Amino acid sequence: MYSREESKKVRQEFWISFGKNYPRKWLLYNTKIKDFSLKFTFTRRLAEVSIDLDATDEILKLYYFEKLQSLQAILKDEYLPDAVLAEAYELDNRKIISRVYVTKNGVNIHDKKDWPIVQAWLAEKMDALERFFLEYRDYIEQ
């Protein structure tokens, strides 16, 4: 069991290592759409790559989610076959957002032997998610 500080240090080491192994400027929060971001997640149980819709305006959040739903076939056929679209996704802090995501289960950020596999997986899936977003950003925004 790791203390809070030890766990924080391991997480920092992972993300520094990821940045060195995959030195690329990821899009992430720079989508140019308010409350619409691409995210990496890696915890003690899973890794995820996602589009998060975190608008406080429920109508706006639903609007963007419906746009993504309308692109679901393209997303799954051409980019991420295992993508899940969740209109109501509960975060660890109990906040509800809308999320489009892919998950790799059975990995642990505290287990360094998982790191190379997860880093490659994160880079591959985020690249696909970014390509999808950049191709359809104009449609999503309008």
- C-alpha span between 118 and 75 (Å, rounded): 22
Instruction: Provide CB contacts within 8 A for 85, sequence distance 6+.
Output: 65, 68, 69, 72, 99, 100
Classify the phi-psi angles of 19: left when phi > 0, otherwise alpha if psi is within -120 to 50, otherwise beta: alpha
Q: What tokens were used for 112?
A: 């360094």
Residues 38-54 pLDDT 10s: 999 999 999 999 999 99
Residues 24-81 pLDDT 10s: 999 999 999 989 999 999 999 999 999 999 988 889 999 999 999 999 999 999 999 9
Q: List, in sequence order, every beta strand (DSSP E) within 7-135.
A: 36-42, 46-53, 84-90, 96-105
Average pLDDT over the chain, rounded to an integer: 95
pTM score of the predicted model: 0.92
Question: b vs e for 87-112, b when ≥16 Cβ sit within 10 Å of the residue's Cβ?
Answer: eebeeeeeeebbbbbbbbeebbbeee
CA angle 25-136-23, nearest 5°? 10
Instruction: Please state the rounded mean pLDDT for residues 93-102.
Output: 95
Report pLDDT for 55: 85
